[in-house]
Chain A
């Protein structure tokens, strides 16, 4: 089958217009849809769509750790698995965990840990599963945002929710929430995870090149994006609750 290539606009030039490949403004998030409590078998779960990203997160625990030697005497441990489904990307992704997925699992776990009261449940583990069903850039951030909701849905005590968003530099301009093509062709991608009420960053990575001033601006841009996501997270948690109240009033 012959694929007709789409005409790619010049990548190196700095654009004069204010829009990006998908028509968004420079500081505009992709459209987001969230639902909490979607899996019957998990203790907590959440589903999120951000642009073309589709993410499912499930949380189990706190429960006994098996194998026992992994247990910590003074706190719970978080075991996190970030995984991309074979059908989530254009070219089938091999189901086995890649080096990238192993690294992202670690990095996501470290982004969630500061938010959870692990000291409350020694000798236990909290298992977090993030499955990417469709990927279009920024999946580690979408995964963190979804996992935090699943943790809250599981009733696990948290210091704060965690919202994550990436910002970066594409075509010489600083942009928020990079799509896959922007990430691949751009100058820098900076994923950030943020505790909105405590105003603390729990994940900060950079892939690319930025000046110190640009970096500061990009991080601020990303935290602004995180704050917007946080508002949507709150709404999703509240929605589950409000529907029951409405049903009662109708009686």
Chain B
């Protein structure tokens, strides 16, 4: 049985409600199917495989997913848990039992001493169904309170671009700036460099990725930009001496 054609070229810009395809395709990300017709739900670039039609959204907020690493801010401390803002429609919860090794006993433990309102932390999502707040853990290595570094926020849809294929983009930035970079799936990126200038370079690179995420050859352009910036920095340093 032949499939009916799609109505747009690959990587064409579509808006909510645009008819993308008819027939035996699966409705992928940012699309929905009604009466064997597939429509877009967000503004973005349409793309398709032999079986699936999907849209790479231009802008979308973060929806929690099991296993995602996220960076959040503590907004509330209760008797048994912390509420954490992870830039999603629902705030996430970190249970005291996750952080303390022994069974939790109220009044004996002082939760604010571990994480207080306003603290930033890196965590992983261990549970999420739509009826309850997403559950976080900080038990794994690399997770926990953030004590130093700079935070950059980009729209969550561009995080995959910031990571790159098998980490190509983030590794390129790490190499050129010498910074440690932790990427949260919720659009928050933590940068830790040896000097503030290095961190600034990394931030510049990330901003560039965010603006030009939909273009090709970006990894090379970012690397080139970083090298040029470092050269000009070196020249100004030499002039000052």
Interface residues of A in 102-143 (CB under 8 A from B): 115, 117, 121-124
Please provide the 6 A-B residue pairs with the shortest distance between their CB atoms, ordered closest to farther. A160-B17, A157-B41, A158-B16, A197-B17, A62-B89, A155-B60
Number of interface residues of B (CB under 8 A): 29
Interface residues of A in 70-125 (CB under 8 A from B): 73, 76, 115, 117, 121-124
Interface residues of B in 146-190 (CB under 8 A from A): 155, 157
A196 within 8 A of B: yes
Give the docked Cα–Cα distance between A55 and B216 (Å): 37
Residue in A62, A76, A241, A248 whose CB lies within 8 Å of B58: A241
Q: Is the CB of A161 within 8 A of B130?
A: no
- A241 and B41 in contact (CB under 8 A), knowing A64-B91, A197-B18? no
Q: Is the CB of B17 within 8 A of A237?
A: no
Least CB separation from B32: chain A residue: A159
Residue in B58, B59, B90, B221 whose CB lies within 8 Å of A124: B90
Tell me how far the C-beta of B90 lies from the nearest C-beta in chain A, rounded to whole angstroms.
7
Report the interface size class on chain A.
35 or more
A238 within 8 A of B: yes
B235 within 8 A of A: no
Give the docked Cα–Cα distance between A237 and B18 (Å): 13
Q: Is the CB of B59 within 8 A of A155?
A: yes
B42 within 8 A of A: yes
Give the docked Cα–Cα distance between A157 and B42 (Å): 5
- A237 and B215 in contact (CB under 8 A), knowing A153-B59, A155-B59, A159-B41? no
Q: Is the CB of A64 within 8 A of B17?
A: no
B212 within 8 A of A: yes
Residue in B18, B32, B39, B42 whose CB lies within 8 Å of A155: B42
Which residues of the other chain, B, contact A237 by a CB distance below 8 angstroms? 15, 43
A61 within 8 A of B: yes
Q: Is the CB of A161 within 8 A of B214?
A: no
Give the docked Cα–Cα distance between A73 and B90 (Å): 13
